[in-house]
């Protein structure tokens, strides 16, 4: 095996290649878009910490985390640092933060918890199925945002225009943030478990006196104690306006999730049929007729 020898200059002196001449591996994890992605995760975790009892702080941190979703894409294009790791980090962060918020809404509005659980499942299933179909059925290196119009006109319009994509994602999150704020402010959606102690008692004669909240909710982190602590912490006017304005876009986003799930499922089924055809499946067995 030949050994690599150092080069010599005209005077016979040995010239060793400098470190600058060697190709240095890029640290993908320290790309600017990915650093923005990490900050999104930190802000999201901080918002979850404040979520149970501090609606304004939580909403601010959560909103900034969502808005940075657009900034990392701009940075990736500006600095030519678009990476597969960054794309997956972005999608995973989106799915996790939205799921965490919906989990809180399911506990804040137990009457509609099944709806929130369904939205979590639809969001995760739709994006996972779409990503898997793109990786297994699409061309090598194809992004999940590159959708053929012949496969789905709706998804093509959704993913091809960054402004449309940002608007749908932002207003979808805004609707859930508005619901979150309403859990602190609207007696129509989140009635308090106990009435104001100063109000006249509605107990009928002969019944025991109403127990104190501390006797009903011995743990400050129980569901009842948390609802009591959330009650009437802020005015509900602005959250109601935000919820009404953003509701149509949120509904449209859920429709897109359904379309994405269905189209990805059909795309995978096409691949399965083609693979089975190449393998000669199902095998035809010649049945001998009984004489």
pLDDT tens-digit readout, 233-262: 788 899 999 999 999 999 999 999 999 999
- In terms of DSSP H, where are the helices of the chain? 32-50, 55-78, 84-108, 113-137, 153-160, 162-185, 213-216, 223-230, 237-278
Catalytic residue among 94, 123, 148, 196: 94
Asked if 94 is an active-site residue, the reply is: yes
How many beta carbons lie within 10 A of that of residue 61, not counting itself?
21
Is a pLDDT exceeding 60 seen at residue 71? yes
Is a pLDDT exceeding 70 seen at residue 185? yes
Residue at token pair 């900050």: 39
Is a pLDDT exceeding 70 seen at residue 205? no
- pLDDT recorded at residue 29: 96
Give the list of residues 6+ apart from residue 188 with CB closer than 8 angstroms, or none. Answer: none
- pLDDT recorded at residue 203: 44
Give the list of residues 6+ apart from residue 255 with CB closer than 8 angstroms, or none. Answer: none
Is a pLDDT exceeding 60 seen at residue 5? no
Query: What tokens appear for 238 in the block?
Result: 């602005």
Query: pTM of the predicted model, to two decimals?
Result: 0.80
pLDDT tier at 208, thresholds 50, 70, 90: very low
User: Poorest-confidence range of 39-48, 190-199, 243-252?
Assistant: 190-199
How many beta carbons lie within 10 A of that of residue 178, not counting itself?
22
Distance, in Å, from the CA atom of 137 to the CA atom of 252, rounded to the nearest integer, reads 27
All structural domains of the chain, each given as residue ranges with its CATH number in brackets, are 27-138+145-192+224-278 (1.20.120)
Q: In DSSP terms, which residues pair with 14 in a beta bridge?
A: 8
Is a pLDDT exceeding 90 seen at residue 143? no
Q: Which residue has the higher pLDDT, 91 or 209?
A: 91
> Across all residues in the chain, what is the average pLDDT?
83
User: Poorest-confidence range of 13-22, 48-57, 93-102, 121-130?
Assistant: 13-22
Residue in 272, 267, 274, 276 with CA at minimum distance from that of residue 144 = 267
Query: What tokens appear for 227 in the block?
Result: 């609802």
Query: What tokens appear for 157 in the block?
Result: 């319009």
Q: Residue 287, SS3?
A: coil
Q: What mean pLDDT do residues 169-175 have?
A: 96
Q: In DSSP terms, which residues pair with 8 in a beta bridge?
A: 14
Is a pLDDT exceeding 50 seen at residue 286? yes
């Amino acid at each position: 095996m030949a050994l690599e020898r150092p080069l010599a200059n005209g005077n016979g002196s040995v010239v060793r290649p400098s470190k600058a001449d060697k190709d240095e591996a890029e640290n993908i994890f320290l790309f600017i878009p990915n650093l923005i992605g990490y900050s999104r995760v930190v802000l999201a975790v901080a918002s979850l910490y404040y979520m149970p009892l501090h609606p304004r702080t939580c909403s601010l941190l959560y909103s900034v985390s969502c808005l940075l979703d657009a900034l990392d894409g701009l940075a990736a294009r500006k600095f030519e640092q678009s990476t597969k790791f960054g794309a997956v980090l972005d999608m995973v962060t989106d799915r996790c933060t939205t799921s965490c918020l919906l989990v809180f809404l399911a506990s804040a509005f137990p009457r509609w918890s099944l709806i929130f659980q369904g939205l979590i499942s639809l969001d995760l299933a739709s994006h996972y199925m779409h990503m898997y179909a793109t990786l297994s059925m699409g061309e090598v290196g194809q992004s999940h945002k590159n959708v053929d119009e012949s496969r789905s006109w709706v998804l093509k319009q959704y993913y091809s225009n960054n402004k449309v994509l940002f608007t749908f994602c932002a207003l979808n999150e805004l609707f859930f943030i508005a619901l979150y704020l309403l859990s602190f402010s609207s007696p129509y959606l989140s009635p308090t478990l106990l009435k104001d102690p100063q109000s006249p008692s509605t107990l009928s004669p002969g019944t025991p006196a109403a127990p104190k909240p501390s006797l009903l909710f011995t743990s400050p982190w129980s569901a009842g104690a948390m609802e009591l602590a959330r009650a009437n912490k802020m005015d509900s006017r602005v959250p109601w306006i935000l919820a009404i304005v953003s509701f149509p876009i949120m509904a449209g986003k859920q429709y897109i999730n359904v379309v994405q799930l269905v189209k990805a499922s059909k795309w995978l089924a096409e691949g399965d049929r083609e693979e089975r055809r190449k393998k000669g499946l199902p095998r035809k067995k010649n049945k001998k007729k009984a004489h």
